[in-house]
Structure 1
Amino acid sequence: MALRIVSADERLSAAGAKTTMAIFGPSGVGKTSLLKSLPPAETLCIDLEAGMKSVQDWPGDSIPVRTFADALDIGCLVGGVNPSADPSGFFSEAHYQHLRESYPDLVQMIAGKRIIFVDSITDLTRQAMAWAKTRPEAFSDKTGKPDTRGAYGLLAREVIGLLKHLQHAQAKTVIFVGILERVTDEFNRTTWQPQMEGGKAGRELPGIVDQVITMSLFARDGDGWRHEPERGEDRRLVCRAGNPWGLPAKDRSGRLDVTEPPDLGALLSKINATRKG
């Protein structure tokens, strides 16, 4: 691809057309139900966990994905061709053209979607681990026995490659959701971490996406909020790093409050609002 200059107007237009976001929350907090706050005609749900029961009345389109190979194919259809990909590898011109010929209806449907909702990245990494264990890299060259380190290394490379490919999708907002788990160490210190197979993909994800958000339960505490993940009655989105509860969050837009209501449509409008002056 030829090098070119991107003007400020082009950059602002592109920024308003796409955002990448990772939303983590405890099991059962209602992450999938966030779909109902997105425009159904413009949203596609990539369903990796057979978890659409809670939103069975949502009128939008979804694609069930049960293997990591299928996830890679969907990623290629959403993100298009990666010009730096191996000619015989994933996201190459050959891979993309093969999928276009095999799934013309999917190509047309995806082209009309502005928002891709991936539910969930936790299950994506589980599928990736099952796939990685079957690959040659997961077996020792000397003994032929399973090599766990090789499987985890392949898992990290391919999952990170898929996430970065989706990040570069033209004019698409991509939202990943996943499970947040409470971890207590030997000193009885509690932290909250995304639940994902392999540590590398989880560590790199915050650097790949624009926004990292925690969805959890809270209770009113005067004019503020108290984190009550098991007994709270109000769902909130925690959007900024350095929040009082030590929850994972990052706001690259600089436009979000520490917490926001659980409405992704309103959240995206706030992130992408045109600055005045």
Structure 2
Amino acid sequence: MSGTTEPSGCDGGHATLHAAYYADQACFAPATVLENEQLARGTYRMRVNAAAIAERIVPGQFVMVRVAGQADPMLGRAFALYDVVRDDAGQAVALDFVYVVHGKLTTALAACAAGRTVELWGPLGNGFDPIQCDRRILVAGGIGYTPFLAAGKESLGAARYGAPLRDGGQAAEVVMCYGVRTADLLAGEPAFRGAGFDLRVASDDGSVGHHGLVTDLLEAALDESADRRVQVDCCGPEPMMEAVAKLCLQRGTPCRVSLETPMACGIGICFSCVAKVRQPEGDWDYKRTCVEGPVFDAAKIEW
């Protein structure tokens, strides 16, 4: 990256790097925990007063998070934007992210009461570019629903994100197909319905919604949309995303996936989060999920 400027941090003032996805506009922000609310079994929504990041972040981007003053684990962990909180004047003042307790960092986060300090750097990644369509279908499995509250609200024109604010209202309707293993893992349902989503739930054990796979819900939604412009976006376990990608490819429906590849640095240095992505010439190359993703054209992923 010779000939580029140093990262500008939160204050701006430097030219961006030659590729829009590089993390040169990310900033580091110690933030106070405002809320740490349990949404489902082992699942929490944390709200932090990271205004500098909240005013810039867009749906599909993520932040890296650590607990301040805690050296174990040393590295942060990536969490997708759940939503941005604005004050009465419309200024971004805080952001929400959702996590499942699994491992040292998330266990430590679950113990953080209001007033505790965490450390964030972001916004990171490419996010979902706005796309005009009649119906946007969001397909989520497990914790993969977390990017979709903000994404769907933006599509419906109910919220705007980024600096400068991006235009919303790209879809007449948002359908969310949400798959869980069992009912007590279903999280965020009131928020999704309250945002105006057509929420359709599937569970592996039949304890809530459709007894079966989330791809069953997607097939039904696509069958209803034969004469409409449809955009599918997907996030969740890799086998589910692969199945969604293949189904959309068979039907000629555009589909993007937000990969959940584990990340160590979040800024493209360590190359631990690479994915195989097909190139225009027909072969494939490794792309870093943290900077060239996490959102990719599903048809270009070598599953």
| The two structures share one fold, judged by TM-score above 0.5 | no
TM-score (norm 1): 0.29
Q: TM-score, normalised by structure 2?
A: 0.27
When you count strand as a share of all residues, which structure comes out higher?
2
The structure that is helix-richer by fraction is 1
Structure showing greater relative contact order (alpha-carbon pairs closer than 8 Å, 6 or more residues apart)? 1
